[in-house]
Amino acid sequence: MDKSRGRRFLDAVNVPLVMWTIALLVYGTVMVASATSGMTDGSGMLLRHVLGVVVGLVPLVLAWVFDYTRLRGWQGPLIALAAVLLISPRIPGLGYTAGGATSWLSLFGVRLFQPSEPAKLIFIVVVATVVSSFKGRIDQPGQVLKVLAYVAGALGLILLQPDLGTGLVFIAIALVMLLVGGMKGRYFAYAALAGVLLTVAVLQLGLLAQYQEDRLLVFIEPERDPAGAGYNLAQSKIAIGSGGLIGKGLGAGTQSNLHFIPARHTDFIFSVLGEELGFLGAILLLGLYLALLVTALAISTSSRDLYGALIAAGVIGMWLFQVLENVGMTVGMMPITGIPLPFMSFGSSSMVTNLGAVGLLLSVWSRRYGT
C-alpha cells in the first residue's frame, strides 16, 4: 500500500471509534461467556453471541461504504419499511411473546429477531431528514409538530406490542436530534410538561400492562414487593453490592451461579459484571462508554453537513439512553424496562443494530471532507 492510499484509508477510518467498539465487543463477549457458563446450553448461547457479532459486521461495512447523504431520497420507502417492521410482530403467526411483550418475529415457532431494533436506525435516518430540512433553526410550532408526528407514529406501533422500554429509546433519540437540530428551549419545557401529563394519564387510565405498572410502582417504592415485582431489583442490588472493589472473579459470582439474578445474560448483565469484577470493572465499562460517546460527538461536530451531524446525534441518543437506563435499573435509579446494554447484553438483534450504528458513524466520518 503506497502512502497516498494509506492516508486515504486512515481518513476514512475513525481509529478511536473502532478501538472503543472492539474493546466493548471483547468485554461483552467475556461477560456473556461468564454469565452463561452455568446455564443449560451456555456454550450454544456464547456461540450465538459471537455469531451475532460476526453478522453485525455486514451492516457495519455496508453502512460505512454507503454515502449517507443518498439516504435523504429514501424517506418514503424507509418509513414504509419501519412500519412493516414494527407491525410484523402483531401479525398472527409471526409474533413471539417474551417478557410480556410481543416484540419478536418468529417463523414456525422459532424466534428470529426483534424488528424494533433495526427500526431504530431507520427512525434516526428519517428524523434526520426531517429535522435537517429546518436548517438548524426550529422555532415554529408546525416544525415541532411535524417531528412529533413521526415520533407518535413509531411510538404508537411500539406500544401495541407493548414495549415501553423501546418506546422510550425512540423518544430519547428524537429529543437529542431536536437539540442538535436547533429546537428552542421553550419547546423542550413544553415537551417535559406533556411527558408528565401523559405519564399520569397512562397510569390513571390503566393503559400499561400489569407487569409494566408493577415495575414503575416498585421503582417508586422499592420494598413494595421484594418476592414478586421487586425481586429482580433486590437480587441485582445484592449482586452489585457484594462485588466490592475488585469483585469475586469471573465465573465466581454466587448470585449469578445460583440463578438468583434473572435475565443475567441479557438485561441484567451489568449485575453480573458488578458482582464478578466489582467497582473497578464497572468503572472500566462506563469509561469505555464515555469514550465511545465522546468519539461519536466528535464525529457529529466534524460532519460536513447538518444531516450527518443529526444522524450521529441520533446514534448518541440511542446509546446514551440505553446505557443510563440499563445501568440505572440494575442499581435502582431507573425503573426496570428490559432495555439491553449496548455491545454487552446477549442478543443478536441489538448487536447487529449497534454495529450498524457504528457503520453510520463511519460513513459520516469518512465523508466529512465532501468525498
Judged against a pLDDT cut of 80, whether residue 360 lies above it is answered with yes
pLDDT at 3 over 60: no
Instruction: Please state, in angstroms and rounded to a whole number, the distance separating the CA atoms of residues 129 and 73.
Output: 9
Q: Which of 37-46, 101-110, 171-180 is the least confident region?
A: 101-110
Question: 22-36, 129-143, 170-184, 195-209: which has the minimum mean pLDDT?
Answer: 195-209
Structural contact between residues 122 and 81, judged by C-beta atoms closer than 8 angstroms: yes
CA separation, residue 309 to residues 135, 138, 156, 213, 320 (Å): 12, 16, 27, 37, 16
State pLDDT tens for residues 157-191: 888 877 788 888 999 999 999 999 999 888 888 88
More confident residue, 49 or 335: 49
Which residues of 4-129 form beta strands (DSSP E)?
95-98, 101-107, 110-113
Which residue has better confidence, 266 or 294?
A: 294
The residue extents of the domains of the chain are 12-366
pLDDT score of 350: 92
List phi, psi (to 5°) of 186: -65, -30
Percentage of the chain beyond pLDDT 70 is 87
- pLDDT digits 0-9 by tens, 255-289: 877 777 888 888 899 999 999 999 999 999 999 99
DSSP string, 3-64: HHHHHHHHHH--HHHHHHHHHHHHHHHHHHHHHHTTSTTHHHHHHHHHHHHHHHHHHHHHHH
Look at residue 227 and tell me whether its pLDDT is greater than 60.
no
Q: Which three cell numbers stand for residue 113?
A: 429477531
Asked whether residue 4 carries a pLDDT value surpassing 60, the answer given is no
* Amino acid 7: pLDDT: 54
Residue 8 confidence (pLDDT)? 62
Cell 469518512, located at residue: 366
C-alpha triplet 117, 118, 122: angle, nearest 5°: 125
H or E stretch including 121?
A: helix 116-132
What does the mean pLDDT of the chain come to?
86
**pLDDT confidence band for 1 (50 / 70 / 90):** very low
Tell me the pTM. 0.90
Q: Specify the range with the lowest mean pLDDT, choosing from 48-62, 197-211, 246-260.
A: 197-211
- DSSP SS3 for 341: coil
Tens digits of residue pLDDT in 119-170: 999 999 999 999 999 988 888 889 999 998 999 899 888 888 777 888 889 9
- Write the DSSP symbol of residue 138: B
First CA to last CA distance, the chain: 20
Phi (first) and psi of residue 95, to 5 degrees: -85, 150
